[in-house]
Amino acid sequence: MNLIMTAQSSALSRRAFLQSSSLTAASLLAPRNLFSQTAPDAVAQMRADGTAAKITIVPARRNVSVLIGSGGNIAVLTGKDGKLLVDSGFSTSKPQIAAALASLAPEPPTHLIDTHWHFDHTDGNLWMHQAGAAIIAHENTRKRLSTTQTIAAFHATFPPSPAAALPTSVFSQKDSLAANGETVAMVHYDPAHTDSDISVRFENADVFHTGDTWFNGAYPFIDYTSGGSIDGMIRATKRNLDQTAPGTIIIPGHGPVGDKMLLAESYSMLTAIRERVAALKQQGKPIEAVLAEKPTASFDARWGNGLVNGEGFTRLVYQGV
């Protein structure tokens, strides 16, 4: 079975991208059970799922491409300085990811940037570091990867990562590096999806990776245990909009590569549902009564088919308003 597919796209409007790649938002989202395991073997199950991952290569712009299919979306900058990657997917997808990387360019990985600590974005850190990549991340990513973490919403516990999988360079607010003719700028968000989120901008190519502050085409998961909140997600989405232009290619943490128009639609969805849920909670209604009102009903057909459905997203919003 061919585990690598390439999607050619000359324009990244919603219609042009989806038609040219024959991929839908739902097909590119993380597996539904990514954070939904309630048994102690959550990590083992996710790794098992990664063994069958199909990797799709999406050219972005210039020498930036995106690998979609194993955990979070992986950005790749190629060139004579070696490959720079953003996020590492599941460790069990190493054969597919390595094959995809080799098909892009012969140089080895030299840098890996983690957008945040979550397992679906960092599980491949160890093998990428062993292949030669120095790991860069926000200081909270290293702190969380260094210790046992629990995602309370799904009763999932994640053990500390091996020392060789931890970031070797960390920053608090911003950092940048030059590689392969690019300036790669990293900026920390205020707590949003987690307290460790960063954006990564390829300045010359005008390609912007949001990490999990954007789930394109789906309700986002918000990790309150790690400092996230609905208000933080809305602020992060607004910041993403302010820092991108109509022509910017925007890589979400999950879902198809998109643009500012699609990001703006996510912002409208987030703010509308927050307003609805907050109004119901302010009336003194408990969560079950709010769920009965179905505040996400008008959005569910489009946004409710990913990792988090309408009920789950209502619970996440209710928790933070």
Q: Where are the domains of the chain?
A: 4-264
Q: Residue holding tokens 């910041």?
A: 239
Average pLDDT in the chain: 89
The topology (CATH level 3) of 4-264 is Metallo-beta-lactamase; Chain A (3.60.15)
> Which of 281, 245, 282, 278 lies closest to 261 in space, CA to CA?
245
Token digits for 20?
């040219």
- 28-32, 107-111, 243-247, 266-270: which range is least confident on average? 28-32
pLDDT at 49 over 90: no
Q: What is the pLDDT of residue 21?
A: 36
Q: Amino acid letter at 274?
A: R
- Mean pLDDT across 12-26: 37
- Mean pLDDT across 297-317: 96
pLDDT at 217 over 90: yes
pLDDT digits (tens, 9 = 90+) for 141-180: 999 999 999 998 878 889 999 999 999 999 999 999 999 9
**In the chain, alpha helices (H):** 14-21, 25-28, 42-50, 94-104, 119-122, 125-130, 139-145, 230-242, 260-282, 287-293, 297-303, 310-320
Q: Which pLDDT band holds residue 39 (cuts at 50, 70, 90)? A: very low
Q: What is the pLDDT of residue 47?
A: 83
DSSP-derived letter for residue 138 is: E
Give the separation between CA 161 and CA 146, rounded to whole angstroms.
6
Distances (CA, A) of 43 to 40, 153, 221, 266: 8, 15, 17, 29
Phi, psi of 120, deg, nearest 5: -75, -10
pLDDT digits (tens, 9 = 90+) for 66-93: 999 999 999 999 999 999 999 999 999 9
